[in-house]
Amino acid sequence: MRRFTLPPLLSSYRWLNQLANTLAVLAVLALLFSVLVWIVRSPYFVVNQVEIEGLNNEALVYVTSDAVSATIAGRLKGNFFSIDLDESRALFEKAPWVRKAQVRRVWPNTLHVKIEEQQPLAYWNEADMINTWGEPFAANEAVILDTTFLPQLRGPANSERLVVQRYAEVTQWLTPLGVSIQELNLSPRYAWEVVLSDGVRLQLGRDPAADIADLHGTSGARDFAVRLERFVQAWPALHERLDGRKIQTADLRYSNGFAISLAPLQPTE
Report CA-CA distances (Å) from 124 to 41, 88, 224, 236: 47, 28, 22, 32
pLDDT of 245 above 80: yes
* Structure confidence at residue 16 (pLDDT): 65
Domain count, the chain: 3
E strands in 150-263: 152-154, 181-186, 191-196, 201-206, 247-251, 259-262
Task: Tell me how far apart the alpha carbons of residues 156 and 133 are, in angstroms, rounded to a whole number.
Answer: 17
Task: Tell me how far apart the alpha carbons of residues 184 and 163 are, in angstroms, rounded to a whole number.
Answer: 8
Residue 225 lies in a domain: yes
Task: Let me know whether 52 and 89 are in one domain.
Answer: yes
Could you say which of 94, 117, 140 is where a domain stops?
Answer: 117
HSE value, Cβ hemisphere, 13 Å, CA-based, for 173: 22
Residue 13 lies in a domain: yes
Residue 3 lies in a domain: no
Which residues, other chains included, contact 189 with Cβ-Cβ below 8 Å and sequence gap of 6+? Answer: 206, 210
Contact 250, 202 (CB under 8 A): yes
Task: Let me know whether 59 and 23 are in one domain.
Answer: no
Confidence category of residue 90, pLDDT binned at 50, 70, 90 = very high
Task: Let me know whether 50 and 25 are in one domain.
Answer: no
Is 154 or 48 the better-scoring residue by pLDDT? 154
pLDDT digits (tens, 9 = 90+) for 136-166: 999 887 778 777 899 999 999 999 999 999 9
Confidence category of residue 210, pLDDT binned at 50, 70, 90 = low
Could you say which of 54, 86, 117 is where a domain stops?
Answer: 117
* Structure confidence at residue 263 (pLDDT): 86
Task: Tell me how far apart the alpha carbons of residues 103 and 84 are, in angstroms, rounded to a whole number.
Answer: 10
Task: Let me know whether 177 and 198 are in one domain.
Answer: yes
Residue 67 lies in a domain: yes
Average pLDDT of the residues in 55-65 = 93
Task: Let me know whether 205 and 156 are in one domain.
Answer: yes
Task: Let me know whether 105 and 173 are in one domain.
Answer: no
CATH number of domain containing 184 = 3.40.50.11690
Name the residue among 90, 81, 80 with its Cα closest to residue 111: 80
Predicted TM-score (pTM) of the model is 0.79
- % of the chain with per-residue pLDDT over 70: 80
Burial class (CB in 10 A: 0-12, 13-18, 19+), 75: exposed
Name the residue among 87, 90, 148 with its Cα closest to residue 119: 148
Contact 71, 64 (CB under 8 A): no
Domain of 30 in residue numbering reads as: 9-41
